[in-house]
Amino acid sequence: MLAPEAPFPLAGGGALRTASLLQYLAGKYAVDLIVFRQPGESDPRQALPEGLVQRIVVIDLPANRRSLAAKALRNSVRMARAVPPLVDRFSGFEREIADAVDGRHYRLGVIEHFWCAPYCGLISKVCERTILNLHNIESVLHRRCAQSERSPAGLVHRVFGDASLKLEREWLPRFSSVLATSATDAELARAIAPAARVSVYANAIPLVPLPHRENDQAIVFSGNMEYHPNRAAVRYFRREIWPRLRDRWPLLVWRLVGKNAAAVRPFTKGDPRIEVSGEVKDAVCELARAQVAVVPLLAGSGTRLKILEAWAAGTPVVSTSVGAEGLPARDGEQILLADEPAGFAEAVSRLLACREMRDRLGNAGRLLMEKEFTWEIAWQNLDF
């Protein structure tokens, strides 16, 4: 398995999806793991469960400046070259990967994320079968970000969306199998690359006991705050929805839970009723502290692990249609859907005002998660 980010600890949607597949593979094969590490991150070996892999190779990424000016310069160069940002970030490590697999032979070669798909040629030389595990359809993600953003950000996403589409058409058919997060994403992938062999491997989470619910007068948004759709969702909620709820519910607190909290500070500072918790050890237990989980996404791809974790916590969810895409949840049964600010605020208020409704939606979400979105259930769709 080649992964651009560490699968453990289980923090964030990307890690959860990679870890679920790694856990499945480790039950059937002896697994070697090649994983990238960002500057300043801890050693991925320390968080891996003992005995899960037989060998791990860590590739250290070079440091890059994180100021807005530095990011703008990098993206300008990427736009000129028509190379999507994360494809660019994880490129250029052919020698390290070739050294890691030199002299070995594998039944399977699994590549996590589209960003590492260019290494298919190297991996396929030593593997009988190659698998690409898509976490998103990158061209769709950039196109939706372009639609929800003003210029110049919208223009940047359009360029990267076109570049991603070109690369998807080229790379997806090269793999023995491509895994998509949902039937919706599988259809999108087949439309982009009809020759690709695409199947569904659903996002899922480990089955955990229903946590104790504290029911603080709080709402919660969870996720990696640096991920562009999450950052845009926080900005949108802060400007368009939170003022309506803040005025109507004088004791209500809005909590933001997830790593890279600094990315949303410009939208949250100055309001003592917005709590930015940062990364937490147990996201499900943290979500159980709130009365409502909000998913005000305006763009995205794949399916949202934040919704599955809220269901695991028994916490009712209010989401946009994009936020809930790919999940078999019905409005009013396992989730409330609202695409306009006034409607979204009203849906949250309905839940805050009625504990019976919160319990009904939260219990229905938990049952759906148990039935369709645990690791063991998702593994049943794998054929390798």
User: What pTM was computed for the model?
Assistant: 0.91
Q: Do 228 and 156 belong to one domain? A: no
Q: Do 174 and 230 belong to one domain? A: no
> What φ, ψ does residue 108 adopt, rounded to 5°?
-130, 145
383 in a domain, yes or no? no
Supply the pLDDT for residue 195. Answer: 96
Supply the pLDDT for residue 335. Answer: 97
Q: Do 151 and 48 belong to one domain? A: yes
Residue 60 DSSP one-character state: E
Supply the pLDDT for residue 183. Answer: 93
Supply the pLDDT for residue 40. Answer: 85
Supply the pLDDT for residue 74. Answer: 84
Instruction: Give the CATH number for residue 225.
Output: 3.40.50.2000
Kindly report, residue by residue over 217-243, the tens digit of the pLDDT. Answer: 999 999 999 888 999 999 999 999 999
How far apart CA 354 and CA 331 sit, in angstroms, is 17
Supply the pLDDT for residue 362. Answer: 96
Q: Do 231 and 153 belong to one domain? A: no
* Across 62-85, average pLDDT: 82
384 in a domain, yes or no? no
Q: State the Cα angle at 271 between 268 and 273, rounded to 5°.
A: 105
Supply the pLDDT for residue 81. Answer: 86
* Across 184-203, average pLDDT: 96
Instruction: Give the CATH number for residue 148.
Output: 3.40.50.11930
Is residue 1's pLDDT more than 90? yes
Q: Do 139 and 231 belong to one domain? A: no
Q: Do 188 and 323 belong to one domain? A: no
Is residue 200's pLDDT more than 90? yes
238 in a domain, yes or no? yes
How far apart CA 132 and CA 196 sit, in angstroms, is 11
Supply the pLDDT for residue 301. Answer: 85
Q: How confident is the model at residue 65 (pLDDT cuts 50, 70, 90)?
A: confident
How far apart CA 222 and CA 277 sit, in angstroms, is 10
For 13, the domain range is 2-201
Q: How confident is the model at residue 147 (pLDDT cuts 50, 70, 90)?
A: confident
Is residue 308's pLDDT more than 90? yes
Count of structural domains, the chain: 2
Name the more confident of 88 and 221: 221
Q: Do 188 and 252 belong to one domain? A: no
* Across 52-78, average pLDDT: 86
379 in a domain, yes or no? no
How far apart CA 12 and CA 261 sit, in angstroms, is 13
Q: Do 106 and 39 belong to one domain? A: yes
